[in-house]
Amino acid sequence: MTDTTTLERTAESATTILDHWVDGSAWTGESERTGPVFNPAQGRVQKEVRLASAADVDSAVAVATGAWTQWRDTSIAKRQAVLFNFRELLNQRKDELAAILTAEHGKVLSDALGEIARGMEVVEFACGLGHLTKGAYSENVSTGIDVYTLRQPLGVVGIISPFNFPAMVPLWFFSVALAAGNAVLLKPSEKDPTAANWMAELLKEAGLPDGVLNVVHGDKEAVDRLLEHPDVRAISFVGSTPIAKYVYENATRNGKRVQALGGAKNHMLVLPDADLDLAADAAVNAGFGSAGERCMAISVVLAVDTIADELVEKISQRMGTLRIGDGTRGCDMGPLITGQHRDKVASYIDVAAQDGASVVVDGRGVEADGDPDGFWLGPTLIDKVPTSSSVYQDEIFGPVLSIVRVEGYEGGLDIINSSPYGNGTAIFTNDGGAARRFQREATVGMIGINVPIPVPVAYHSFGGWKASLFGDAKAYGPHGFEFFTAEKAVTSRWLDPSHGGLNLGFPQHD
Ligand code: NAD
């Protein structure tokens, strides 16, 4: 499987164009709009991606609707076999996918492989669909009457994913949606779209019937049509908070089931009794991994005054050892996704100085091991950030780590609980009592105790609170199967002549 099966070259411009993937093959659709896909480490456009019209979305939904009736009736054993095959193929060919992620997103190869591993974990979990779609049975609830529940697929479901995990986030959702017997229309980020086609093609090789998983590329026009299309039963969205809210409000207004995961500002509270070396390693790994473009990145360290100077020193020492550059060259951190995003992130460094914070490490002008035109910004550390500053308040989504100094546990907790976001948070301490209070008192969906990026394993569910998740279903795990199935309760009685007769009262038990 190579790019050439999903890409075509246009005669006029010789620009590579990534097509949609519909009904088991590359598909151009009717829209002539395209968008640029950069190689962020080179700062150059490497291909264009098609941007679907509303009519293109309609065509793909019609294909998915047709394919669903067959997939819905495919046995659990056969669906399971497709997922097992997919898992095996993905594992064998993960290096190909990692190379695509690095070329379009910019994250370093080792991090790209980590993303794939965490996505593959959800495929493995979804292979247990036999257990996860089981209903319940109550015998003889009334004389001769049994009640049982069935979990049935919804139909065609839409998945809209962000740029920062072009493989893992689609895997979170489509693995479970397909396992549960749904057909899928995936609308990946237009910034790094190729991974979605690659995985769709691999699913075909694994035995998924054509049309059951379709990839439609696009922007707001495609998303808006998905949100209103009457045959799309559910929407799973991951992206920034304003768009998550927009998606949630519009799709629910149209009667759809929606899970919309939004942005984040994740705090790490370091208490005086913590192992400061462990805490400093964790802050650097979680602050600058994937250039800070992770929804579970640590962007604020809440350092208790008595250890703050020492912790800042340890963090900045470690930052000096990081190698920034092209993700294919064994570096620690790659570029940002676009030049525009890099400039916006860098602009916060001036804001920090204006707001009275102290810039300890300035990532501008970093010497990167890569093309000078790459979208580089080095790791940046800003101390004494006031919580009134936009550096503290905004989701910067880049390699900028803020230190906010606090008097103690209570002050740190107050700041965490006052944040509009509630995705992840962590406490670093050797005091079990403090850790236990923290897990109970923090108003955040995912808590780490001496673990900076507490992304739950696939058999738990992933999701934040407050402005980090709209809707009540988290991603994957038990929530995932609940989200992608509808429960039906059956009350059954097999004929028994003793139960005949007319009775217009509300059914009661005997
Ligand atoms: P984004 O909100 O810009 O885009 C997400 C998706 O929405 C993309 O597919 C995009 O095409 C679409 N979109 C963008 N603008 C739209 C509009 N006006 N109308 C309709 N659709 C639109 O997010 P992004 O920049 O791709 O990703 C980064 C964001 O995602 C960050 O805020 C990050 O925290 C968040 N994120 C959250 C999680 C989580 O689990 N909570 C995980 C990963 C990323």
The whole-number pLDDT of residue 81 equals: 98
**Is 119 found in the same domain as 198?**
yes
Ligand 1 atom nearest residue 468's Cα: 41
Q: Note whether residue 505 is domain-resident.
A: no
pLDDT in tens, 203-230: 999 999 999 999 999 999 999 999 999 9
Q: Give the mean pLDDT of the chain.
A: 96
**Ligand 1 centre from 225 Cα, in Å?**
17
- For residue 456, being part of any structural domain is answered with no
Tell me, what amino acid is at 5?
T
229-277: pLDDT as tens digits:
999 999 999 999 999 999 999 999 999 999 999 999 999 999 999 999 9
Same domain, 13 and 47: yes
56 lies in which domain range? 4-262+468-490
The answer to whether residue 295 is catalytic is yes
pLDDT at 5: 37
Q: What's the whole-model pTM score? A: 0.96
pLDDT at 497: 67
In terms of domains, do 18 and 158 share one?
A: yes
Q: Distance between CA 17 and CA 446 in Å, rounded?
A: 39
Q: Do 156 and 271 fall within a single domain?
A: no
The pair of structure tokens assigned to 50 is: 């098609």
- Whether 88 is in a domain gets the answer yes
**One domain, residues 305 and 409:** yes
Q: Tokens in use for 502?
A: 């007319």
The answer on pLDDT for 369 being more than 90 is yes
Do residues 230 and 290 both lie within one domain?
Answer: no
What are the DSSP E strand ranges found in 341-451? 358-361, 380-383, 400-406, 421-422, 424-428, 446-449
Write the CATH number for 208. 3.40.605.10
Give the model's pLDDT for residue 207.
98
242 in the same domain as 162: yes
> Given the CA of residue 423, which atom of ligand 1 is nearest to it?
41
- 447 pairs with which residues across the strands? 425
Residue 255 and residue 271 share a domain: no
Distance of CA 260 from the midpoint of ligand 1 (Å): 10
Residues 122-169 have pLDDT tens digits of 999 999 999 999 999 999 999 889 999 999 999 999 999 999 999 999
Q: Is the pLDDT of residue 12 over 50?
A: no
* Cα(488) to centroid(ligand 1), Å: 33
Residue 135 within any structural domain of the chain: yes
Mean pLDDT in residue range 297-306 = 98
Asked if residue 477 and residue 429 are part of one domain, the reply reads no
63 found inside a domain: yes
For residue 392, how far is its CA from the centre of ligand 1 (angstroms)? 20
- Same domain assignment for residues 231 and 276: no
State pLDDT tens for residues 335-362. 999 999 999 999 999 999 999 999 999 9
SS3 224: helix
SS3 of 38-75: the string is EECCCCEEEEEEECCCHHHHHHHHHHHHHHHHHHHCCC
Q: Has residue 501 been placed in a domain?
A: no
Annotated catalytic residue within 64, 116, 271, 295:
295
Q: How would residue 14 be classed by pLDDT, with cut points 50, 70 and 90? A: low
483 plus 388 within the same structural domain: no
Give residue 508's pLDDT band: very low, low, confident or very high (50, 70, 90): confident
pLDDT of residue 7: 40
* Residue 455 covered by a domain: no
Pocket test for ligand 1, best of 33, 243, 466 (most atoms within 8 A of CB): 243
Ligand 1 contacts (CB < 6 A) are 160-165, 169, 187, 189-190, 219-220, 223, 238-240, 243, 261-264, 295, 395, 397, 423, 464, 468
User: Is 498 inside any structural domain?
Assistant: no
Substitution candidate for ligand 1 out of 163, 171, 336 with most atoms within 8 A of CB: 163
Atom of ligand 1 nearest to the CA of 165: 43
Tally of structural domains, the chain: 2
Q: Are residues 141 and 113 part of one domain?
A: yes
User: What's the CATH number where 410 sits?
Assistant: 3.40.309.10
Atom 16 of ligand 1, nearest CA residue: 220
